[in-house]
Amino acid sequence: MPPQPTLRRHFLHVDRKKRQKFWEYSLCEIGAFLCYNNAIGEKMRRFLERMGNMYQAGELVVYGMHGVCRVVSEEERLVDKKRLHYLALEPLSNGNSRFLVPTQNAAAMAKLRPVLSQEELEAMITSEDVKSGQWIREENQRKQTYRELIGSGDRKRIMRMVHTLYRHKADQTASGKKIHLCDENFLHDAEKLLVGEIAIVLCLEPEQARAYIHKNLKEDA
C-alpha cells in the first residue's frame, strides 16, 4: 500500500485560496485536538507555525476587530526557553501601532484572513444568506453574540449582523422608538470594520464605502 499523504504535504500542494479555506474552517478543530493529544502536540504546533509563513511581508490581511492590517514581518522570540514565532501586524487605521500574532496559537491564527477579492465581496454582500439574520430578543445573549462576532472578523456574519441591526433600527424608528445604545455601538463598530476592508477592495473613500454598505444592506432592511 502506498504511503498516505501527510496533512502538511496535502496542505502545501493546494493553491493559496484553498489553503485559506482549510485554515478558516479547521484551525479551531486543530487547536482542540492539540489539547487532547499531547503525543503529537509539538509536531502540530510546528505545523501551525509553518502555516503562518503563507503570509508575506507587505501583504494586507484582516485580523479580528483590528480590521485591515499590513503584515510587517515574521519574528522569533524566546519565551520561557522556547522559540516562538509571530507575525507582526500593523493596522491601517493606526500606522503607529503594531502587535504580534503567535503563529502556533490556533485561536489567534483563526482570526487572520486574507482581504476579500472584489468578486468575493460582491457575491457575499448581495447573498440572501446575509439577509437572513434573526433578531436576538434577550439583551445579554445579544451582547455576547455580537461581541464575539466582531472579534471573529467573519465578514459574512458581520454583514448579517449589520443588516439585522438596520432592520431593527427601522422597525424601532417606525414605532417612534430608538435602539439601545449598546446596539448602536455594535452597529458603529461593525460598520467600521466593513468600511475599512471595502474601501481597500473597491478603492473607495471611507464615505463611499459606507454608502456601498447602506445600498446593499440598509435600503431593503
Find all residues with CB under 8 Å of 40, minimum gap 6, and list them.
none
- Same domain flag for 34 and 22: yes
Q: Is 187 helix (H, G, I), strand (E, B) or coil?
A: helix
* DSSP 8-state symbol, 128: G
- Same domain flag for 12 and 86: yes
- Same domain flag for 90 and 150: no
> 25-29, 38-42, 64-68, 148-152 — which is least confidently predicted?
25-29
- Same domain flag for 100 and 157: no
Domains in the chain: how many in total? 2
- Same domain flag for 23 and 99: yes
The whole-chain average pLDDT of the chain stands at 81
Find all residues with CB under 8 Å of 163, minimum gap 6, and list them.
130, 131, 133, 217, 218, 221
Flag whether pLDDT at 207 surpasses 90.
yes
- Assess if residue 129 is contained within a domain: yes
Q: Strand pairing of 99-102 and 60-63?
A: unpaired
- Assess if residue 199 is contained within a domain: yes
- Assess if residue 202 is contained within a domain: yes
Q: How confident is the model at residue 218 (pLDDT cuts 50, 70, 90)?
A: confident
Flag whether pLDDT at 137 surpasses 90.
yes
Q: How large a percentage of the chain has pLDDT more than 90?
A: 57
Closest CA to 216 of 128, 149, 136: 128
Q: How confident is the model at residue 4 (pLDDT cuts 50, 70, 90)?
A: very low
Q: How confident is the model at residue 82 (pLDDT cuts 50, 70, 90)?
A: confident
- Assess if residue 100 is contained within a domain: yes
Which of 92, 114, 136 lies at the terminal end of a domain, its last residue? 114
Flag whether pLDDT at 160 surpasses 90.
yes
Q: Strand pairing of 112-114 and 60-63?
A: antiparallel
Flag whether pLDDT at 195 surpasses 60.
yes
Flag whether pLDDT at 127 surpasses 50.
yes
What cell was used for 12? Answer: 502545501
- Assess if residue 159 is contained within a domain: yes
- Same domain flag for 98 and 144: no
Whole domain around residue 108: which residue ranges?
A: 7-114
90: domain CATH number is 2.40.10.170
pLDDT tens digit sequence for 31-78: 544 444 444 455 555 555 555 557 888 999 999 989 999 999 988 888
SS3 of the chain: helix, strand, coil, percent, to 5:
60, 15, 25
- Same domain flag for 87 and 102: yes
Regarding pTM above 0.85, the answer is no
- Same domain flag for 55 and 141: no
- Same domain flag for 182 and 108: no
pLDDT tens digit sequence for 90-100: 999 887 889 99
- Same domain flag for 122 and 166: yes
Residue 221: the pLDDT is 63
Q: How far apart are CA 163 and CA 218, in angstroms?
A: 6
Residue 81: the pLDDT is 83
- Assess if residue 1 is contained within a domain: no
Which of 64, 97, 114 lies at the terminal end of a domain, its last residue? 114
Q: What residues form DSSP beta bridges with 90?
A: 70
Q: Which amino acid is at 44?
A: M
The distance from CA 59 to its chain's CA centroid, rounded to whole angstroms, is: 15
- Same domain flag for 91 and 156: no
Which of 114, 142, 167 lies at the terminal end of a domain, its last residue? 114
157: domain CATH number is 1.20.58.1290
- Assess if residue 32 is contained within a domain: yes
Q: How far apart are CA 98 and CA 122, in angstroms?
A: 30
- Same domain flag for 128 and 60: no
